[in-house]
Copies of this chain bind each other. A is one copy, B any other.
Amino acid sequence: MPTPAYNAFSAACPTREVLNLISGKWVGLTLTALAQGTQRYGELAGRIGGISHKMLTQTLRMLEQNGLVERKVTPTIPVTVDYSLTPLGSTLVPVVAAVKAWAEANVEQVRAAAASYEMPLGGGAETAALVAERASV
């Protein structure tokens, strides 16, 4: 079959899993960081500000399992681990880099829009950014 005709709008489509996979909070930054070339665990941790130990490991493992990242262990003492992009992972980099670039380029417009958002009722003392899901309080 030449055209698989996957359609992400279908709830049952396996594309959904892939979509959820790459929309993880740290996936984009991790892949973008790896686009700079093979790096050690510690280098990645330093480059991606604010990522916790756990999430970096978890994200890398997940990407490895799905064929986007390669993990190479060198049994030195202490052990050395290098991470690099697979060919498949490399094809995703431009995409996530575009997302990152869009975010950086449009931060101010988004913030301006959020700040000037007209509250439905009541005082406008709160910033729109906080309104999204504060109903639980």
Contacts and interface: CB of A to CB of B under 8 A. Distances in A.
Chain copies in the assembled complex: 2
Contact of A114 (B48, B66, B99, B104): B66
Nearest to A105: B6
Contacts of A128: 65-66
A48 to B, nearest CB: 6
Interface in A110-132: 110-114, 117, 128-129, 131-132
Interface residues of A, number: 63
Nearest to A5: B104
A92 interface: yes
Interface of A: 4, 6-25, 28-29, 32-33, 47-50, 58, 61-62, 64-68, 88, 91-92, 95-96, 98-100, 102-104, 106-114, 117, 128-129, 131-133
Q: Which 7 A-B pairs have the closest CB atoms?
A: A67-B113, A11-B50, A11-B49, A18-B103, A6-B104, A23-B23, A65-B128
22 contacts: A4-B108, A7-B104, A9-B49, A11-B50, A12-B49, A12-B50, A17-B107, A18-B103, A19-B103, A20-B25, A23-B25, A23-B28, A65-B132, A66-B114, A66-B128, A67-B110, A68-B113, A88-B109, A91-B102, A91-B106, A95-B99, A98-B98
